[in-house]
Chain A
Amino acid sequence: DGGITQSPKYLFRKEGQNVTLSCEQNLNHDAMYWYRQDPGQGLRLIYYSQIVNDFQKGDIAEGYSVSREKKESFPLTVTSAQKNPTAFYLCASGGLRETQYFGPGTRLLVL
């Protein structure tokens, strides 16, 4: 069953806490992306990685960090510096000009 998996489905963050969202793909794509979705808005790019061990900031990278140690995995950490983290987070893989394949998303809530 090929595709992208994200976990957990729901995540709760306490004040001052860092949390990590998981994203795994078995589509053999070089490029992976993290988007943030807020109600009534389109998706906004947080970080992207074109290849292993390389990643670039997107439009709203402040308060987030990523790593890309393996082709299949692109975890996103929401740090305590992100003051408004409540959102729906979507991971995707594929080319920007080609079809992007999205995971089912993680909803992050603040306690």
Chain B
Amino acid sequence: AQSVTQLDSHVSVSEGTPVLLRCNYSSSYSPSLFWYVQHPNKGLQLLLKYTSAATLVKGINGFEAEFKKSETSFHLTKPSAHMSDAAEYFCVDYQTGANNLFFGTGTRLTVIP
């Protein structure tokens, strides 16, 4: 069964407007959740991670994500998009039982000048 669902394959925003990238998880236990960013033809870079400390997690480059257990969501947000934010974003879930990482299918963010 799919562990992580990224609800949008592509999101377009105008520069300076808010960004919302949606992710739902299905882990039964307390999950470890990550957001990674991938620029074209590059490796992935960690933006932020949730490991049950605080429900609102702040990451690099002004991104943050809120863990909502009642909604099984871990959406990524940024108040104001910058051109350099254009990239592919992956939501990732570590499942203790499987001792494995499960990657979402990715959301491509386009920022319009």
Contacts and interface: CB of A to CB of B under 8 A. Distances in A.
Contact of B105 (A41, A105, A107): A41
Contacts of A6: 43
B42 A105 contact: yes
Nearest to B51: A97
A75 B99 CA distance: 23
> Mostly helix, strand, loop or mixed at chain B's interface?
strand
B105 A40 contact: yes
A99 B94 CA distance: 11
A97 B41 contact: no
Contacts of B45: 102
Contact of B94 (A41, A45, A96, A105): A96
Contacts of B104: 42
Contacts of A4: 43
A45 B100 contact: yes
Nearest to B91: A42
Interface in A53-104: 88, 90, 92, 96-97, 99-100, 102-104
Interface of B: 4, 9, 32, 34, 36, 41-46, 49, 51, 90, 94, 96, 99-106
